[in-house]
Structure 1
Amino acid sequence: MAFTGDPQTRFNKEYKDSKELPKYLQDKINNSRNKKPSVKLEDEAETEEANDELVIREEKPTIESVANASNANQLVIHDPSIEHNASRALVQRQQQQFYVPDKPEWHAPWKLMRVIGGHKGWVRTLAMEPENKWFASGSNDNTIKVWDLASGQLKITLTGHVMAVRDIAISDRHPYMFSCGEDKTVKCWDLERNKVIRDYYGHLSGVYSLDVHPTLDVLVTGSRDSTVRVWDMRTSTGIFTLTGHKQPITNIKCQATDPQIVSTSTDKTIRLWDLAAGKTQTVLTHHKKSIRALALHPEEYSFATGSPDDIKQWKFPEGSFMQNFVPRREAIVNTLSINQDNVLFSGGDNGTLGFYDWKSGHKFQEFQTTKMPGSLDSEAGIYTSTFDKTGMRLITGEADKSIKIWREDPDATPETHPGIPFDPENYRQRY
Structure 2
Amino acid sequence: MNFEYGPWEETGLGKSTRLSVLRRTYAKPELAVKTLPAAPKSNEPAEGTSAQVGFLAKHDSWKLLRVITGHEGWVQSICVEPDNQWFATGSADHTIKVWDLASGKLRLTLTGHIMGVRALEVSDRMPYLFSAGEDKTVKCWDLESNRVVRDYHGHLSGVYSLSLHPTLNVLVTAGRDSVVRVWDIRTRHEIHVLQGHRGPINSVQCQAVDPQIVSGSQDSTVRLWDLAAGKCVETLTHHTKSVRSVLIHPTEFTFMSADRDAIKKWQLPAAAFMGDFKADKPRITNTLSLSVDDLLFAGGDDGTLNFYDYNTMEMVFQTQTTPVPGSIAEESGILCSSFDKSGIRLLTGEADKSIKVWGPAD
TM over 0.5: yes
Residues 81-230 of structure 1 mapped to structure 2, 5 A cutoff: 107-230=59-182
Moved over 3 A (4+): 327-330
Give the direction of change, closer, same or farther, for the CA distance of 1:138–1:328 in structure 2 (3 Å limit): farther
1:361 is matched with: 313
Task: Report the Cα offset of residue 298 of structure 1.
Answer: 2.8
Task: Report the Cα offset of residue 329 of structure 1.
Answer: 3.5
Q: 1:383 aligns with which of 324, 335, 342?
A: 335
Q: What letter matches 1:182 in structure 2?
A: E
Task: Report the Cα offset of residue 328 of structure 1.
Answer: 5.3
Bigger share in helix: 1
User: Retained in 1: the 8 A contact 2:291–2:339?
Assistant: yes
Residues 313-352 of structure 1 mapped to structure 2, 5 A cutoff: 313-327=265-279, 329=281, 331-352=283-304
Give the direction of change, closer, same or farther, for the CA distance of 1:328–1:279 in structure 2 (3 Å limit): farther
Q: Which runs of 5+ in 1 are unaligned?
A: 1-104, 412-431
Percent sequence identity is 59
Give the direction of change, closer, same or farther, for the CA distance of 1:134–1:317 in structure 2 (3 Å limit): same
Bigger share in strand: 2
CA offsets, 1:114-153, max 9 Å, x none? Answer: 1100000000000111111101000000000000000001
1:239 is matched with: 191
2:224 is matched with: 272
Q: What letter matches 1:285 in structure 2?
A: T
User: Retained in 2: the 8 A contact 1:187–1:200?
Assistant: yes
SS at match of 1:145: strand
2:323 is matched with: 371
TM-score by length of 1: 0.70
CA offsets, 1:301-322, max 9 Å, x none? Answer: 2111111111101111111111
2:257 is matched with: 305
Give the direction of change, closer, same or farther, for the CA distance of 1:301–1:182 in structure 2 (3 Å limit): same
User: Retained in 2: the 8 A contact 1:310–1:328?
Assistant: no
2:352 is matched with: 400
Q: Which has the higher contact order (CA 8 A, sep 6+)?
A: 2
Q: What letter matches 1:276 in structure 2?
A: A
Task: Report the Cα offset of residue 330 of structure 1.
Answer: 5.0
Residues 66-85 of structure 1 mapped to structure 2, 5 A cutoff: none
SS at match of 1:312: strand
Q: What letter matches 1:343 in structure 2?
A: L
Distance 1:296 1:216 in 2: 17
User: Retained in 2: the 8 A contact 1:309–1:328?
Assistant: no
Task: Report the Cα offset of residue 243 of structure 1.
Answer: 0.3
Q: What letter matches 2:131 in structure 1?
A: S
Distance 1:389 1:257 in 2: 23
Q: What letter matches 2:145 in structure 1?
A: R
Q: What letter matches 2:355 in structure 1?
A: I
- Aligned residue pairs total 308
Distance 1:328 1:196 in 2: 44
Distance 2:195 2:323 in 1: 41
Give the direction of change, closer, same or farther, for the CA distance of 1:373–1:362 in structure 2 (3 Å limit): same
Q: What letter matches 1:384 in structure 2?
A: C
Task: Report the Cα offset of residue 360 of structure 1.
Answer: 1.3
Do residues 256 (structure 1) and 235 (structure 2) align? Answer: no
Q: Which runs of 5+ in 2 are unaligned?
A: 1-54
SS at match of 2:239: coil
SS at match of 2:71: coil
2:19 is matched with: none
Distance 1:110 1:299 in 2: 25
Give the direction of change, closer, same or farther, for the CA distance of 1:118–1:243 in structure 2 (3 Å limit): same
Distance 1:327 1:271 in 2: 24
Distance 1:163 1:120 in 2: 13
TM-score by length of 2: 0.83
**For the aligned residues, what is the CA RMSD?**
1.5
Q: What letter matches 2:175 in structure 1?
A: S
